[in-house]
């Protein structure tokens, strides 16, 4: 990872977390235990504080940033899809933010809620726990079932497992020039996307 101190504040990464070498951490950033930070993610603690709590994941090309004196937080087991932007907001425990969604300042995505892909959550938005949030601008469309929340938790556990795999096995290498005969496949963890999610 590329890590910069700023104004005397050095990013903190728990030893059990995995932060991809291409991710950038600046200043007041705290990455908690068992977190996963994907390739090209940017965590900019140059104004406010950036926090990933235990078991959270922030996938490829995500951005976390905020205004001065703000906290941008992904709580325990929060799940943030590829390309999402979080700015001065709080993502509740066990919540999911879909790919390319934007969550703006002082918004609060309650625990166990889902923000759909490409949604725009306006500043100051709040929802009840276990809400499905969709649209531009985003609004609550319905409550989620316990089955849907359990499905999300299974996906988050896959990222927690990926954290351990990356810490143990990922290494820089040169590419092969051709595909090997009987090339093996990466082991199937059993998680499947749900239709319409």
Report all structural domains of the chain as residue ranges with CATH numbers, in order of start: 2-143 (2.160.10.10)
Tens digit of pLDDT at every position of the chain (197 positions):
899 999 999 999 999 999 999 999 999 999 999 999 999 999 999 999 999 999 999 999 999 999 999 999 999 999 999 999 999 999 999 999 999 999 999 999 999 999 999 999 999 999 999 999 999 999 999 999 999 999 999 999 999 999 999 999 999 999 999 999 999 988 765 555 555 44
Question: pTM of the entire structure?
Answer: 0.93
The SS3 of residue 183 is: coil
End-to-end Cα spacing for the chain: 31
């Amino acid at each position: 990872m590329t890590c910069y101190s700023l104004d005397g504040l050095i990013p903190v990464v728990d030893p059990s977390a995995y932060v991809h070498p291409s991710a950038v951490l600046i200043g007041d950033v705290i990455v908690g235990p068992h977190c996963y930070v994907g390739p090209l993610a940017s965590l900019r603690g140059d104004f406010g504080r950036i926090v990933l709590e235990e078991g959270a994941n922030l996938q490829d090309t995500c951005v976390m940033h905020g205004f001065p004196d703000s906290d941008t937080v992904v709580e325990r087991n929060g799940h943030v899809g590829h390309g999402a932007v979080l700015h001065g907001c709080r993502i509740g425990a066990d919540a999911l933010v879909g790919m390319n969604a934007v969550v703006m300042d002082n918004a609060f995505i309650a625990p166990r809620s889902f923000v759909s892909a490409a949604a725009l959550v306006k500043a100051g938005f709040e929802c009840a726990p276990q809400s499905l949030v969709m649209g531009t601008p985003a609004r609550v469309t319905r409550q989620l079932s316990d089955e849907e929340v359990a499905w999300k938790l299974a996906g988050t556990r896959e990222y927690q497992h990926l954290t351990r795999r990356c810490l143990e096995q990922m290494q820089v290498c040169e590419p092969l020039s051709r595909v090997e005969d009987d090339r093996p496949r990466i082991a199937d963890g059993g998680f499947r996307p749900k239709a319409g999610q």
